[in-house]
Structures are given as structure tokens and as C-alpha cells.
Structure 1
Amino acid sequence: MKAKPHRKSTFINLDRTRCAIQEISGYTPTDATIWKSIRSTNLQRLTREFLWKLGDFWSHIDHLDMMGQCHICRVPESLEHIAVECDAYGQSIVWNLTKQFGDWFWMHLGRLFAILVSIAWHLIWKLRVDRVMVNPNMPLNKDAIHNQWLKMVNAGLQRDRILTNKRRFGTLALKKQIVLNTWSGLLMDENSLPDDWISTRGF
């Protein structure tokens, strides 16, 4: 019921998001569209939650103020810093894994783009939380990060398959063709799979 406070950082982040989208696609989204995109069902619930908890959010919570500053670079934390600027080990590995889809991936900006980029961001965030709050001395290696990334991508694929179940989700179920189109060209041994692989056992 109360008027929403005007936060400078929120205004700046919305404007930067809008400019980035316009540069990539030529489309200029409204503030409402940007906020709605964070609630998109294309993103897993935990991913949607973490997107709004970054930046200044942490500095206002007791005992979590240390989450507001990057311990590696000694600068204020932000989504941009976590995702693309931080020198912490693992960030570049995650993006290189995501970019392995090559030109095909970037030419199909849409549902798959949203899923995989959100997975990359979320994994980078999880690596940071583990480093800062769980076990700062925990050794990381490329294979371990690769396995975490692959596990999250496979979870996204399996989630899509489950959401096509009309018996379980009724009118809210995803259309099979949307899922087939989203993941087409990315599956292991795809040529040996049936055209409708969604219900294939052991997949």
C-alpha cells in the first residue's frame, strides 16, 4: 500500500539492463518488462530469487554485510562484477563452458539464451558464496566447476521435460515443441534419439 521508495542503484541497474538489451537485440524494454523477466518461468525458482538479492541488498542485513564487498578485488559487489569483472577463480571457466555452443548459441537469443546465461550467473554466485561463507580454503579445479555446470544444465533440461507433463500440470504444462526447439542441436548422440525424445526412458 505504501509508495515504493526511489533507489538510485535500482534506477541505474534498470537503465544499464535496458541499454544492454537494446544493444544486443534492438529492443528497448520497459522497467515493468525487466522486472517481469526475473519472474519468468524459464528460470528456476532459486535462480529467480538470487537475481534480486545481489548488490546493496546484503549490506542492510545483520551479519551479512561482508557479502556486499568482493574479497578478491576489494570493490563493492554488483551483479556485473560477479558475472564478468571479478578475478576470482572459476568465473571465466563458467563463461567459457557456456560459450562452447558457439555461433549457434548467440544467433538464437531467446529461451535457451535465458536458461543458460542464468545458469552461468547462478553457478558463479554459488562459487562465490562457497568461497566467502562456506569454505574459503576449498580448492577448486576446472573439472569440478565443469561438473557443477553440467549438472545444472542437465537439471534445466530435465525440468523442461517434467514441465511438459499435462497430467501433472494441466493447462500450465509447457508445450513439447517449445522444449524440443529449445534444446535441439545440443544433445549428446542426438541423431540416435527419436524426434520426440522428451518421453524417452533413460535419456
Structure 2
Amino acid sequence: EDKGWIRTADRAPMQALAAELKARTATTLFVVHSANSANNAGCAGASSLARDGSRRASSDDIGLEIPPELELKGAKLSSLTQAITPRIREKRVKVSRPATENRIEQVRSGIHQTYRQLPPPAQIWKSIRHKDFTRQIRNFLWKSMHNAHCIGKFWKHIPECEEKGICQFCPGETEDLEHILLTCQRPGRKMIWKLAEELWLKKNPTWPELSIGNILGCGLASFTGADGKPFKGNERLYRILISESMCMIWKIRCDCVIGKAGEPLSQMRSTTAGYMPLTTVLTSIVF
């Protein structure tokens, strides 16, 4: 509070909590228990409630209104440092972008259906910068989250370019990202996902059903072992398999549409011939 809540995670609920505590006339005491202490039943219960809450499809409507007399704005001069002074100005109101919001909701829905978790948007944005992703994949995910690729409906309102939004291999189908990654008949797509599935099944019994949401949200993959603990190895394998396969399908699409533009479809069907055997590519990436 002394620093104006700058760089504070979950700023709004923390401000409301501070105001609630200041409104109390009695003394408020906090008892902190470590995870290894004998009285850790409360910690375990809190963790369980937090876990259950993260898996809910909808969140509770919690009032965060703060009475004007309890809301302190700004930061104390005695608490300012060189690190936070440039951030003292309030953040500007973000302009909503429907395409981005729709994509984020797609990812949230896909993650919830696959892993029974409902991540907040901030967690989704953080996941696309995962260290397991190459810079190229991070850039691709960022543009995909903003629906900023020049495909599909992008060409709809550009005169004499409307046909560019239609898939060359699937007559009448809009070539959006979901179509490119999941349903397009372009050579190579089915093969890539099939090889990724075969590699995954060597380590795991089942292959998750793919959707545009859990593909773009692969950085939030969550798997547990027989003991109920997170299976970090499986999560990393899945992240790499999905992200590299996704990026390879996109490269093949761009090679067909841009690199081989104007060629007959019969010649474009040999696009994948110039690539390394996909099993070798995926195996070398993972192992």
C-alpha cells in the first residue's frame, strides 16, 4: 500500500482486503504456518480450496468496492525507489480487442475441457513465453493469440483478394488457423499429428483430443502421475510435441501458399518431400 500497489499481483482484491482490515476496530492477528509444521491442516485445506476454485467453469462475483475514505491513492515518498518511480503513473485503460478476447476464451475453454482447469488470461499470456518454446514458436503463439495472421477473414474486405481467404485444398472452406491446424486436407498435416501421437503413446496410454484451444494453450499442459503429483516430464514432452508439430504444419502451409504460389496442386502435394523425415525431426527435438 505504501508503494501504491505498483507491481502487485492481484492488485484489486489486495486493495479491497487492506480496506476491509482498516475498517475493523479490533486488532487483527495473523498466524503463519510453514508447510512442514505440525499444524499444516489449514494450509492443506487452503490449497485444496484454491485448487478446486481454479477448476471451476465460472467464478464467484465478489464485490471489490472500497469506501472512498479507506481508498488511498498514490505512493508514499518515503517508500519510493528508482525501480518503481517510473511506474508511478496509473496504467492506461486497455482498449479491448474482440479478436484477442475471443481467442483467449477459446484457449480457456480448451484448457478447461482437457485439464479441468480454468486459467486466467494473465496465466495464458505467460505460458506462451515458456522456456521450452523457441523464439519462433513464441512469436507464432503471440500472433495466434491476437488472431493477427493474414489468413481467412483477414482478406474478406480487401477488394480483389477475397479468394485468398479460401483454402486451396478444401474448396469453400475459410482458411483460418483452426482449419489449417486441425481439418485441412493439405499434405503433411495428418502425418505430423499422427507421428506426434505415436511418439506420445510410447510414453503414455492415451492421446488427448486436440482442439485449437489446447493446442495454443499447450504451455499450460497439466498431467499427474499415479501418486497424484504433477508429471513434469510428460508436461514438457507434450509442450514440445504440440508446439513443434503446430509450427511445422504452419511452415508447410506457408510454403504451399507463398513459396509455391501459382503452381498446380499436383506439384504442391509434394511439398513435404523436401523436409527431413518427420519422425527424425520430432524425435531429435524431444530427445
Q: When the two structures are superposed, what TM-score results if normalisation uses the length of structure 1?
A: 0.63
Structure 2 regions of 5+ residues with no counterpart?
A: 1-90, 208-222, 224-230
Distance 1:119 1:141 in 2: 18
Structure having the higher helix fraction is: 1
Q: Partner letter of residue 83 of structure 1?
A: L
Distance 2:164 2:282 in 1: 23
The yes-or-no answer on 1:135 pairing with 2:233 is: no
Number of the residue aligned with 2:169: 72
Number of the residue aligned with 2:203: 104
Q: Secondary structure at the match of 1:104?
A: coil
Q: Secondary structure at the match of 1:39?
A: coil
The 5 Å alignment of 1:1-203 reads 3-54=93-144, 55-58=147-150, 59=154, 69-73=166-170, 74-101=172-199, 102=201, 104-105=203-204, 106=207, 109-136=234-261, 137=263, 138-140=268-270, 147-148=277-278, 150-151=280-281, 153-154=283-284, 156-157=285-286, 183=287
| Aligned residues of 1:90 and 1:145 also touching (Cα < 8 A) | no
Corresponding residue pairs, total = 155
Q: Secondary structure at the match of 2:281?
A: helix
Distance 1:149 1:81 in 2: 23
Distance 1:46 1:111 in 2: 18
Structure 1 regions of 5+ residues with no counterpart?
A: 158-182, 184-203
| Aligned residues of 1:120 and 1:149 also touching (Cα < 8 A) | no
Q: Partner letter of residue 70 of structure 1?
A: C
Aligned-pair CA distance for 1:90:
1.2
Aligned-pair CA distance for 1:31:
0.5
Aligned-pair CA distance for 1:113:
0.4
Aligned-pair CA distance for 1:25:
1.1
C-alpha change, 1:134 and 1:141, in structure 2 (3 Å) is: closer
Q: Secondary structure at the match of 2:175?
A: coil
Distance 1:83 1:72 in 2: 13
Distance 2:163 2:127 in 1: 28
Q: Secondary structure at the match of 1:71?
A: coil
- Which has the larger Rg? 2
Q: When the two structures are superposed, what TM-score results if normalisation uses the length of structure 2?
A: 0.46
